[in-house]
Amino acid sequence: MNKLDESLLSPLPPFSKLDRPQIKSILDRATSRRFDAGTAVFDEGAPSNSFYLLLDGTIRVVKTTPDGEQVTALHVPAGQLFGIAPALRRDTYPATAIAASELLTLCWPASLWEQFVADYPGFGADTYKTIGDRVAEMNNRIIEMSTQHVEQRVARALLRLVNQSGRQTAEGIEISFPITRQDVSEMTGTTLHTVSRLLSAWEKDGLVSSKRKKIIVCDAHRLVVLGGA
């Protein structure tokens, strides 16, 4: 990856504690890969042969229940590592990673993980913090599904997404990747019918604008109130 300036990566969590020669050394071992929207980068249970840094786009992390239903566990925004099964001491991926939008990634063989962690302590420290943040997010969602009404769960899910990957538009803050009402229902443990009913009501009330695979939060403050924050 000689064409990628290491200074562009220095603010990102895996590299923020490293100097430029160290970042360059890691980049020299990487290959770049692109994925079209809707493509599975890897599948749950597949051998974890590689790990990735997401340069552009959004990853939807999906778990499959024993009944065969898919549940969206979380979204990974640009600038983060994913597929880091070696950090969990796993030789298979614990979930499926689906490109929610077109992706640009860097990719390394999983065999390099232990070397990177040993040679660059800051790389490992940042990565384990990222893992902790993701576990905390999933724990919060479990609590939400156990204790909150559907309206609160959906409001909080939309707020999380605009905080992670929102972009300002004339109408409000748009979730920057294609997202369907089915996606929202999987994230919040509710039905497609319920999500459709809520979003339609919120659209009439001026809170959101919901079109095909696009959601814009028009009144974030009122959505925060609905979320019970």
Read off the pLDDT of residues 141-184 as tens digits, 9 standing for 90 and up.
777 777 778 999 999 999 989 988 889 999 999 998 889 898 89
Q: Which fold has domain 6-144?
A: Jelly Rolls (2.60.120)
As a whole number of angstroms, the distance between CA 113 and CA 127 comes to: 11
CATH classification of 150-227, choosing from 3.90.850.10, 1.10.357.10, 1.10.510.10, 1.10.10.10? 1.10.10.10
Which residue shows structure tokens 């609590």? 143
CB atoms within 10 A of CB 201: 12
Which ranges in the chain belong to alpha helices (H)?
6-9, 20-27, 113-119, 121-147, 150-165, 181-188, 192-204, 220-227
Q: Where are the beta strands (DSSP E) in 47-88?
A: 50-56, 59-64, 70-76, 81-82
pLDDT band at 194 (very low <50, low <70, confident <90, very high): very high
Structure tokens at 56: 């552009």
As a whole number of angstroms, the distance between CA 187 and CA 210 comes to: 17
Q: What's this model's pTM, rounded to 2 decimal places?
A: 0.80
Average of per-residue pLDDT values in the chain: 89
